[in-house]
Structure 1
Amino acid sequence: MSSRELTVDGVRELLREVAGEDETGGLDGDIGAVPFEDLGYDSLALLELAGRVERDYRVRLADDTVVQARTPDEFVGIVNQARAGAR
């Protein structure tokens, strides 16, 4: 298991890798509280992100929990809580 916690910057990097980024550069700046929808990402992109996080951080995330995350901050909280419970 990776010893590092997921951060908003980590979410930003992974989103760019798994789902790309639109021309507006919507992932620049402080995105923690910005809804994924406003960033241009739908539930499919979130599930792709979750799959990558499961692989990289070796944590199991329930699909229904993942799609409840509305912002990168919420997603980070879900992941890090799951990681803490898996220890």
Structure 2
Amino acid sequence: MENDKLIEKIIEKTIDEINKSLKNEIPKDDSSELLGKSLDSLSVINFIVILEENINKIGNIEIVLTNDDSIFSEPSPFRTIETLKLYLKKIMK
């Protein structure tokens, strides 16, 4: 599967799973904000854990997303769906 399509599938599955626990669902468009507006601190942690699991299951890649590169990056890779896609493209080469 092409990397862009794989990343999109992983993110969509992650959003579907996290939306089950949210009052206001995260829309699946690139400009959707993840940090602050859509996800509180606990939901961010859950999102990252689910995302790592989906990368492993769907992409068959073992990745840890809670490292200095992702936590201290500006802008944060978790700011929007678009920034998340760009970050995953970079680290899943």
Identify the residue that residue 34 of structure 2 maps to in structure 1.
35
Question: How far did residue 60 of structure 1 move?
Answer: 2.7
Deviating above 6 A after TM superposition, structure 1's stretches of 4 or more consecutive aligned residues are none
Go from structure 1 to structure 2 and tell me whether the alpha carbon gap of 1:28 and 1:15 turns closer, same or farther (over 3 Å shift): closer
Go from structure 1 to structure 2 and tell me whether the alpha carbon gap of 1:78 and 1:48 turns closer, same or farther (over 3 Å shift): same
Whole-Å separation in 1 of the counterparts to 2:10 and 2:64:
20
Aligned-residue CA RMSD (Å): 2.8
- Unaligned runs of 5+ residues in structure 2 are 72-76
TM-score for both structures, normalised by structure 2: 0.58
Identify the residue that residue 65 of structure 2 maps to in structure 1.
63
Deviation by residue 1:7-65 (Cα, 9 ceiling, x = unmatched) = 3x752332212x2252323x226353513332123223212212212221122322324
TM-score for both structures, normalised by structure 1: 0.61
Go from structure 1 to structure 2 and tell me whether the alpha carbon gap of 1:59 and 1:50 turns closer, same or farther (over 3 Å shift): same
Go from structure 1 to structure 2 and tell me whether the alpha carbon gap of 1:59 and 1:29 turns closer, same or farther (over 3 Å shift): closer
Percent of aligned pairs with the same residue?
4
User: How many corresponding residue pairs?
Assistant: 80
